[in-house]
Amino acid sequence: MDLRHAGINLEDIRSGKKTAIAGALNLLENRKPDESGLAAELIEALTRIARPRRHVIGITGPPGAGKSTLISRLIREYRSAGHGVGVMAVDPSSRRSGGALLGDRARIEHDPGDAGIFIRSMAAGRHLGGLAWRTRHCLTLLEAAYDRILLETTGVGQSETEIEQVADSVVYVVQPGSGDSLQFMKAGIMEIPHILVVNKADLKNPALKAFHELQGVAGLSGPREDGWAPALMRVSALEGWGQEQLVSALEAHYRFLSAGDLEKRRRGHRIQWTYLLFLERFGSNGAERLGGEERIFERLEGLDVGNPFKALNELAQDVART
């Protein structure tokens, strides 16, 4: 069966038709072996039609920081600027059903009648990286349909650093008075977020304290290795102020990336994705047969990873020869 016979219409996807996007997402989230060939074909097709001006934004931070409310505000800002917005909210999984437990789609305020918005909740399952196992698959779909893609993670701690391997820009959201800023300092993950947001700034003094604590860390850390100096700001998603500054900072970071190593960064994401696909199929034993993680990454540097499944087949042939 090919994509056409499977009911996948690429033109409908490009135009943002919600039924077409939902149907394609169902295929990409399917882990049945007999569907993997179609998913690989779809990912290759979607990669070819990805929007050239797309911006993938990761929104991460601890539970209760107000990420969903902040995303609601960002959706309004981007829609008012004429951008189509796709959202993937990765929720913890129900142990009983395996489905998304919190249902972030229900907590993100939006106009369901707006054809320029698409929101999908995904269950994290047993994957502990802050993202659902099929996030990368589904991201290729949103990249073909929308200009701005927002990824919200489950808020599971340091393992959320995986978001850096998927998003162009990473926003870390802090909740005042919870000790988040101190935990952030101890975790030593200053290199991950491009923008730090102290949300719930309407709490006044606790928000100012968190802001100044993070300001000190940002000042000591200086610019990142790529030359970008992390932005720090206060926002009240509840009261609806500060989100304009956040959007401006995100657009500034996108321009910074576009003038530098955006495509190199995205290629690195594809290499990481291919490696994860390899581990899913062959496990650590397969990695050892090819000389370990470092050797596999060296091999991937020389391959075309535009379609990770084709690169995976190259690695599979390497395994077969060992």
User: Which CATH number is 24's domain given?
Assistant: 1.20.5
Phi-psi category of residue 224: left, alpha or beta, with phi > 0 → left and psi -120 to 50 → alpha: beta
What average pLDDT does the segment 247-261 reach? Answer: 96
Q: Are residues 80 and 202 in the same domain?
A: yes
So what's the pLDDT on residue 301?
95
**Residue 155 or residue 18, greater confidence:** 18
Q: Are residues 254 and 307 in the same domain?
A: no
Range of 17's domain? 1-49
Strands 117-123 and 85-91: parallel
**Given 14, 31, 49, which residue is the final one in a domain?**
49
Q: Are residues 272 and 184 in the same domain?
A: no
Confidence of residue 88 (pLDDT cuts 50, 70, 90): very high
Give the pLDDT confidence of 50-74 residue by residue, as tens digits: 999 999 999 988 888 899 999 999 9
**Residue 61 or residue 315, greater confidence:** 315
So what's the pLDDT on residue 103?
46
Its pTM stands at 0.89
Q: Are residues 277 and 234 in the same domain?
A: no
**Given 210, 225, 259, which residue is the final one in a domain?**
259
Q: Are residues 86 and 58 in the same domain?
A: yes
User: Which element (helix H / strand E) includes 185?
Assistant: helix 180-187
Q: Name 153's Cβ contacts closer than 8 Å, sequence gap at least 6.
A: 58, 59, 60, 90, 130, 131, 160, 163
Structure tokens at 228: 């970008």
Q: Are residues 69 and 207 in the same domain?
A: yes
pLDDT of 94 strictly over 50 = no
> By percentage, how much of the chain surpasses pLDDT 90?
55
> For the chain, what is the domain count?
3
Q: If you average pLDDT over every residue of the chain, what do you get? A: 85
Confidence of residue 34 (pLDDT cuts 50, 70, 90): low
Q: Are residues 10 and 27 in the same domain?
A: yes
So what's the pLDDT on residue 179?
67
